[in-house]
Structure 1
Amino acid sequence: MTGRFGGKVAVVTGAAQGIGRTVAERLFAEGAEVVLVDRAELVHEVSGGLISGGRKAHGVTADLEHHAGAEEAMTEAVERHGGIDVVVNGVGGTIWAKPYQHYPPEQIEAEVRRSLFPTLWSCRAALPHLIAQGGGTIVNISSVATRGINRVPYAAAKGGVNAITTALALEAAPHGVRVVATAPGGTDAPPRRVPRGPGAQDDQERAWYQQVVDQTVGSSLLKRYGTLAEQAAAIAFLASDEASYITGSVLPVAGGDVG
């Protein structure tokens, strides 16, 4: 599908690692001018490796848990490329895994800040630009963990991402803007170079995390984790003109687990 995004400008958030990075690389390979956004400086190393036929990707460091960071990132993309056609909101991810009664209040708030607000702010920052140019596509990355164990705050945040997707699609459609989402299941990825949190620290925390893994695999009809390429393929499809009659939908990409 080389050239599917030729002439388009795509902003991918959470692009330093994982699904976000793989999506950015795929959209770039398919012809997009790509702006990679992340709060980790690693994003500049990743963007610096994307060069093809005179095209270069552009990295932006921004903290998308705050509106100012999202606004700065979208403004920089518009000023650099003249507009935005696609926004992929990939910031998020479980920080801790434990039964809800073991979460202290500060961890609950941190989970919601990490996995809800970056999408909320990035949609708000990008939408005026998309409306002004008469169209575009927002792809939010949610999760099937809205029905999952040991991640209630994260599940709540991703439920919010689903609500953003369906509600904003109604408002944005008259302006030619599509809003869609994928809901990934468990996904194999290399070890994170910038961790989200401290990770499991003792036998109990490791056991709680293993319960998440077991439930994730058990809920998948295919009984396995997905790959980064499988997640990126679904996101790229929804972002492309091939999905021009799809909006307001959340597509599970989880081996049959619908969340």
Structure 2
Amino acid sequence: MTETPPAPIFPHRFAGKVMMVTGAAQGIGRGVALRAAAEGARVLLVDRADFVEGTAAEAAGKAAGFCADLETYAGAASAVAEVVRRFGRLDILVNNVGGAIRMRPYAAFEPDQIEAEIRRSLYPTLWCCHAALQVMPGQGGGVIVNVSSNATRGIRRGPYSAAKGGINALTQSLAMEYAGQGVRVVATAPGGTQAPPRRIPRNAAGDSAQEQAWMAEAVDQVTRSSFMNRYGTLEEQIAPILFLASDEASYITGSVLPVAGGDLG
């Protein structure tokens, strides 16, 4: 499957807005960033993969790429500093970094593997929210859209489920805390999503035959749990994220929107 730039649906929806999208080199993050640029935003695409620069170039001058390791606070702070330096402000943050590294029964995870899952799927959102909230209240407000998951209920992904449950809780608590300062905090909870093969695999060590079998069990559960009995498309995940990021959702905060074909997670 070849990725193509998403077509603009609302050409001026984000006119005058500055957006930062994390995990933007490929997949959902790439689609969100390029669609937002096509709809008028100036966008900083952030990823630790160096090909994020090439992805940003697809936006024809409306976006820039930036490499950072968002599992560290220094990386998150440097990304927020870069978007402000380059574009003068930060109106919208889309926290998209994450993804299960391994799928196996919880008891089969090694302690260091559990820590790695939490670092990958919770810490980037924690750090980027913290860094963005140094900026947004002082400029009069902003929007944070966290990409969570319906995997808070599922099999073979216990540490990842815990990380995404943490994102849901963070979304709700920050929404309550910062509403008075003009900051909306919302989330989507995607289900299984069809996407082109990753250019950088999540598990660099590769999956054993047993791990592939466990993954197949998880995929089967995700598909059966969807009322529609299928995975979603990238476009079906991108559109709700951009809606929540836009002024059309101005009275929505603290909500976690399931986007999983009826499976609420």
TM bracket, shorter-chain basis:
over 0.9
- d(CA) in 1 for partners of 2:72 and 2:208? 32
The 4+ residue runs of structure 1 with deviation greater than 3 A are none
Which residue in 2 is equivalent to 1:142? 148
Alpha-carbon displacement from aligned partner over 1:8-34 (angstroms, at most 9, x marks no partner): 000000001111111101111111000
Q: Which residue of 2 aligns with 1:71?
A: 77
- What TM-score do you get using the length of structure 2 for normalisation? 0.95
Identity score, percent: 62
Which stretch shifts more, 55-64 or 85-94?
Answer: 55-64
Match for residue 205 of structure 1 among 208, 211, 216: 211
8 Å Cα contact 2:68/2:78 also seen in 1? yes
Contact 2:191 2:232 in 1 (8 A): yes
Partner residue, 1:194: 200
54, 58, 66: which one aligns with 1:49: 58
Contact 1:88 1:141 in 2 (8 A): yes
Selected match of 2:26 from 17, 25, 35:
17
SS at structure 2 position matched to 1:170? helix
**Structure 1 length as normaliser, TM-score?**
0.97
Instruction: Indicate the residue corresponding to 2:41 in structure 1.
Output: 32
Q: 2:105 aligns with which of 94, 99, 121?
A: 99
| 1:121-148 superposed Cα distances (whole Å, 9 cap, x missing partner) | 0000001211010111000000000001
Superimposed CA distance per residue, residues 167-201 of structure 1 (whole angstroms, 9 cap, x where no aligned partner): 00011100000000000000000000011113753
1:132 aligns to what?
Answer: 138
1:89 pairs, out of 95, 99, 114, with 95
CA distance in 1, matches of 2:204, 2:92: 33
Gaps of 5+ in 1: none
Stretches of structure 2 that go unaligned for 5 or more consecutive residues are 1-9
1:113 counterpart (119, 123, 135): 119
Three-state SS of the structure 1 residue aligned to 2:133 is: helix
Task: Give SS of 1:129's match.
Answer: coil
SS, match of residue 217 in structure 2: helix
Aligned residues: 256
> 1:107 Cα shift?
0.3
Coordinate RMSD, CA, aligned: 0.9
For each residue in 1:180-226, what CA deviation from the matched residue of structure 2 results, as whole angstroms up to 9, or x when unmatched?
00000000000000111137533211110001110000110011000
Partner of 1:232: 238
Deviation at 1:2, TM superposition (A): 1.1
CA distance in 2, matches of 1:29, 1:201: 38
Contact conserved, 1:38 with 1:61, CA < 8 A, in 2? yes
| Cα distance in 2 for residues equivalent to 1:201 and 1:86 | 36
- Residue 169 of structure 2 aligns with which residue? 163
Deviates more, 1:196-205 or 1:41-50: 196-205
Partner of 1:5: 14
